[in-house]
Structure 1
Amino acid sequence: MDINQYMNELGQRARAASRAMAKADTAARNKALLQIAAAIRRDAADLRAANEQDLAQARQNGLDAAMLDRLTLSQKAIDTMAEGLEQIAALADPIGEISNMKYRPSGIQVGQMRVPLGVIGIIYEARPNVTVDAAGLCIKSGNATILRGGSEAIHCNQALAKLVQEGLAAAGLPADAVQIVETTDRAAVGALITMPEYVDVIVPRGGKSLIERLMKESRVPMIKHLDGICHVYIDDSADLAKAVPIAFNAKCHRYGTCNTMETLLVSRALAASVLPRLAPLYQGEKVELRADEEARAILAGYPYLAAASEEDWHTEYLAPILAVKVVEGLDEAMDHISTYSSKHTDSIVTEDYSRAMRFLREVDSASVMVNASTRFADGFEYGLGAEIGISNDKLHARGPVGLEGLTSVKYVVLGHGEVRR
């Protein structure tokens, strides 16, 4: 296969489909989403069988636990995919919405119309649910998309792509609106990120090495985040009945996700009370605690305890490992977050309103939380229906990227025969 020729053909078809999607009415796009959701529920057993093929190969290839977790498509995950599509269908259609319409002294009216981005290239690794989430959001927002999933999920991604295209056809929309790259050749990624004539935006969802490569090589703008080094800070005014389950859930709900807590910060005044309560919970999950000297003294006797190094504060583990640090108070906690956070998600547990508001204002992350687990930093949980990714950039889109993040605006002018003088 000539990869460049193949990718150029995908790009040409996607560009043509993007014009059809941009003018498709809301009813057609919603019908496609509901048809896809129904097909996913109908073929759940086939999807699990395809996923099991991928999992068997992944185990044979020695993929780590975090990658296997991302790759697994459970019945719950299948139900969530279908529910996500139905939620997207129920959302208001942003396309064509005109806002900020104002009269100018010349007599013209000037406003902004929300429009699709065009063609979105999405590159992801062992997350078959991304195939559906991304397709659904792109369909609803009037975009075409080219999906390049990882080789470890190829069977499941192909099965899902067929259902997506079945739903598009049932709604009278072009099948080329959602295309999956059929080759696992890594050269396809290099081609996709260097086709600005066909692709308007790249959304990478994968490991740090993938995103670092794309940042160096892409000629197409990207919506992305590099790391998910998320913090929970337990303030000295925290309610322990909230702090303990939040700190446990943020780490142990799932290890292999970008919104999982990787560093726990604890106020010195509360450390001796809260860390002994957390220790048995973490021990039950065999979580290794890499702690500073003060935290180690409190946690003496904990079986999975190690001294934290400078590198630990910089690390996204994606594993049952947690960095722990005792801090003087809010200012030191925010200084630590400013130094080491990847600007993804950070949370404070406190009953002090003023400190909560300071944390919200001063912590410069895409999601900032009060008295909640970082695991809520997710498009589905935020009511976006699904997410195409999470951005910690500051231009265009930030945080979980849903429908609005996949659109732009153009200025529209309504005149009555005015000419500029």
Structure 2
Amino acid sequence: MKLLKEDIKNNVLQSMMELLAERKDHIIAANKKDLEAFSGDDQALYERLIVDESKVEDMIRAVREVKDQQDPVGQTISDDTLGNGLNITNKTAPFGTIMIIYESRPDVTIEAAVLAFKANNKILLKGGKEAHHSNEELVKCWHQALKDNDLSTDWIQYLKMDRTATQEFLKNPDQPLDLIVPRGGERLIEFVKMHAKCAVLVSGRGNNFAYVAPSADIEKVIPVIVNAKTNKISGCNALDKIYIDQNHPDFENVSRRIEKELTDKEVHIVASKEFANILETNDLIEDQNVWFQEFLARKAAMGTVNGLEDAIERINTYSGGHSNIILTENMDDAATFMEQIDSAAVYHNASTRFTDGGQMGVGAELAISTDKLHHRGPLGLKQLVTNKYYVSGTGQIRE
């Protein structure tokens, strides 16, 4: 694949910002068609589908942030000269061709493409049918930006395929594929992993937990839990589960207050049987599989644990490995929790809503990876490269 100079890539991104601004009304009009055609009662999916003026401004900002970042390609990781005179330099290099499969969220059409292109990768965009008109309009902008700078539109391709065609493409792609990122629910992820023939980097489910420890300060607990649950219901970094330590000195009052603050925000509470005579909810958990579920809805589950080790064991069993919180004033407990919880991000007295490329200083993100190879957490510009060794000699041979 041809390596593009940084100024050429940045010129494309500058053109793209201008096109997004110029065609804002067209983009919003296309999105309106998708919103009108939307069927079903999945509120989270509908919220992720919406593109308004502020969302277009966010798209422009995302492109600008990536444009202003240093080119991640060709950066020296190490440079050593061995005793035999060989000079070995390890540098960052593009993946090649990345495919992303995503549901709803037209902004992914911007963020995924801008990151892949700046990192000198081709990208294949397979958006969901519910965002078809929005995605087509945004890809038109991308193609115009490429043409305006004398580049092939093959750098950013939009795939219109149903499930059967997608399955066949994954098994027998018509071009080399180096990496696939499924960004959606568990069914999508399993579908891709089952059929893909190349590396799959999982942008996993949320199902995030908060552990309210015995020393938790209720005045910190409430705003953190309310924000994590209600700030953006459709976010993969939204809170779903709350464990309250039964050793908390004010266990019952803390439990009742958490429930009230959430129900005041129209969050439906389901609770373990230990809360039967404590909480207002009558919706008690009968099926323990609830603890595995990601809700993406105004719903939260409350349960009890007996100590820090119990909390860690349960969260590591049930969570999606995305983002988990401990609420405590005990620094040793916080350190133990953060070291032993197996997730991409761990929090102490702060909302899970910060697991986001922009909030974590990464800028635009391709996805939040819950895999451990090659990267975990927000996939930003620096994470969309691999590495390559350059070995220079003067005729050395291995004896």
Of 171-180 and 128-137, deviating more is 171-180
Rounded to whole Å, the distance in 2 between the matches of 1:383 and 1:83 is 14
SS of 2:324's equivalent? strand
Counterpart residue type for residue 275 of structure 1: S
Counterpart position of 2:26: 46
Give ranges in structure 1 of 5+ residues lacking alignment.
1-18
Q: CA deviation at 1:417?
A: 4.1
The 5 A counterparts of 1:168-187 are: 168-181=146-159, 183-187=160-164
TM-score norm. by structure 2 comes to 0.94
Counterpart position of 1:154: 132
Rounded to whole Å, the distance in 2 between the matches of 1:93 and 1:49 is 34
Rounded to whole Å, the distance in 2 between the matches of 1:89 and 1:274 is 47
Q: CA deviation at 1:356?
A: 1.6
CA-to-partner distance for each residue in 1:285-331, whole Å, 9 max, x for gaps?
A: 321111112334332x35x7433530211111111111111212221
Counterpart position of 2:322: 344
For the 8 Å contact 1:194–1:220, the answer to whether it is kept is no
Rounded to whole Å, the distance in 2 between the matches of 1:355 and 1:38 is 50
Rounded to whole Å, the distance in 1 between the matches of 2:60 and 2:255 is 40
Q: CA deviation at 1:267?
A: 2.0
Correspondence 1:55 to 2:30: no
Identical-residue share of aligned pairs (%)? 33
Rounded to whole Å, the distance in 1 between the matches of 2:86 and 2:274 is 66
The 5 A counterparts of 1:310-349 are: 310-349=288-327
Rounded to whole Å, the distance in 1 between the matches of 2:213 and 2:14 is 45
Q: Quick one: structure 1 residues 296 and 36, their matched pair in 2 at CA, closer, same or farther if it must change by over 3 Å?
A: farther
For the 8 Å contact 1:230–1:261, the answer to whether it is kept is yes
Counterpart position of 1:104: 82
Counterpart position of 1:204: 182
Q: CA deviation at 1:418?
A: 3.4
Rounded to whole Å, the distance in 1 between the matches of 2:238 and 2:397 is 57
SS of 1:258's equivalent? coil
Counterpart residue type for residue 185 of structure 1: D
Counterpart position of 2:12: 32
Correspondence 1:271 to 2:251: yes
Rounded to whole Å, the distance in 1 between the matches of 2:276 and 2:47 is 30
The 5 A counterparts of 1:278-293 are: 278-293=258-273
Rounded to whole Å, the distance in 2 between the matches of 1:88 and 1:129 is 14
Rounded to whole Å, the distance in 1 between the matches of 2:127 and 2:238 is 23
For the 8 Å contact 1:233–1:265, the answer to whether it is kept is yes
Q: Quick one: structure 1 residues 177 and 322, their matched pair in 2 at CA, closer, same or farther if it must change by over 3 Å?
A: same
The 5 A counterparts of 1:6-405 are: 19-20=1-2, 23-58=3-38, 61-181=39-159, 183-195=160-172, 198-268=176-246, 269=248, 270-299=250-279, 301-302=280-281, 305-307=283-285, 309-405=287-383
Give ranges in structure 2 of 5+ residues lacking alignment.
none
SS of 1:298's equivalent? coil
For the 8 Å contact 1:208–1:226, the answer to whether it is kept is yes
SS of 1:50's equivalent? helix
For the 8 Å contact 2:184–2:203, the answer to whether it is kept is no
Rounded to whole Å, the distance in 1 between the matches of 2:331 and 2:80 is 39
Of 341-350 and 141-150, deviating more is 341-350
Counterpart position of 2:387: 409
TM-score norm. by structure 1 comes to 0.89
Rounded to whole Å, the distance in 2 between the matches of 1:71 and 1:385 is 21
Q: CA deviation at 1:116?
A: 0.5
Q: CA deviation at 1:276?
A: 2.7
SS of 2:277's equivalent? helix
Q: CA deviation at 1:189?
A: 1.4
Q: CA deviation at 1:419?
A: 3.6
For the 8 Å contact 1:150–1:184, the answer to whether it is kept is no
CA-to-partner distance for each residue in 1:358-397, whole Å, 9 max, x for gaps?
A: 1221111111122221111112222222111122111112
Rounded to whole Å, the distance in 1 between the matches of 2:70 and 2:276 is 51
Q: Quick one: structure 1 residues 284 and 44, their matched pair in 2 at CA, closer, same or farther if it must change by over 3 Å?
A: farther
Rounded to whole Å, the distance in 1 between the matches of 2:214 and 2:172 is 52
Counterpart residue type for residue 99 of structure 1: I
Rounded to whole Å, the distance in 2 between the matches of 1:287 and 1:308 is 19
CA RMSD in angstroms, aligned pairs only: 1.8
* Matched residue count: 396
For the 8 Å contact 1:345–1:377, the answer to whether it is kept is yes
